[in-house]
Structure 1
């Protein structure tokens, strides 16, 4: 479940090209939240995107096929 969300418009090394979505989400049955990128959301309209990733929105983790034991081994997607 999303606890905080934002859209980034600044370039940083290792980040996707802006704009990109970041969410701080707490997985089911977890005591703490984890921050990571949110994929699959159209960011063309800032207000619509923020409404879709509102606090309380349900998300799922998608894991990379090949992992490196880094936080970037997964990303969030909205549960529709």
Structure 2
């Protein structure tokens, strides 16, 4: 039998859905990071004993030096929006589009943290993007009732982007 390539319209599509429950084991360092978020409403990172970088979110090992981190340091709550994406599609568990997700380097941290950014006028996406390219300052705002998740806070612009 000869092998032939099917035209795209002749290919069979089998719909499917991956919907399963799981439990993520956060480990000692991430568990402490999330516990501090939940109980104290603070963001902390771990300091590398070799290069002295403060890693946020906290990590057990420095990703540059590959040595264990043991010292903890509070950072923020303010920082700089380093990079961003203006999201135009709806995703489960996220706000209705458009909205901004960004990597923020908090004051006292050497690595960035991904989270939702509010306070951006998105009525003109191109203008919003131009303003956000100026790397505005932001401040973390914590929920009243926290669960020990990264969604326990978001970032709010504190700079005037005009």
Pairwise same-fold verdict (TM > 0.5): yes
- Which protein has the larger Cα radius of gyration, Structure 1 or Structure 2? 2
Q: Which has the higher contact order (CA 8 A, sep 6+)?
A: 1
Corresponding residue for residue 116 of structure 2: 37
- From 3, 9, 21, the counterpart of 2:100: 21
Identify, as 1 or 2, the structure richer in strand: 1
- Name the Cα RMSD after superposition: 1.2
Task: Tell me the matched-pair count.
Answer: 80
Of residues 8-17 and 43-52 in structure 1, the stretch that sits farther from structure 2 once superposed is: 43-52
Could you tell me how far apart the structure 1 residues matched to 2:135 and 2:99 are? 20
* TM-score between the two structures when normalised by the length of structure 2: 0.47
Corresponding residue for residue 3 of structure 1: 82
Could you tell me how far apart the structure 1 residues matched to 2:88 and 2:100 are? 9
Corresponding residue for residue 53 of structure 1: 132
Of residues 55-64 and 22-31 in structure 1, the stretch that sits farther from structure 2 once superposed is: 55-64
* TM-score between the two structures when normalised by the length of structure 1: 0.91
After superposition, the Cα gap between the structure-2 partners of 1:35 and 1:55, relative to the gap in structure 1 and judged at 3 Å, is: farther
Instruction: Tell me the CA shift for residue 53 of structure 1.
Output: 1.8
Identify, as 1 or 2, the structure richer in helix: 2
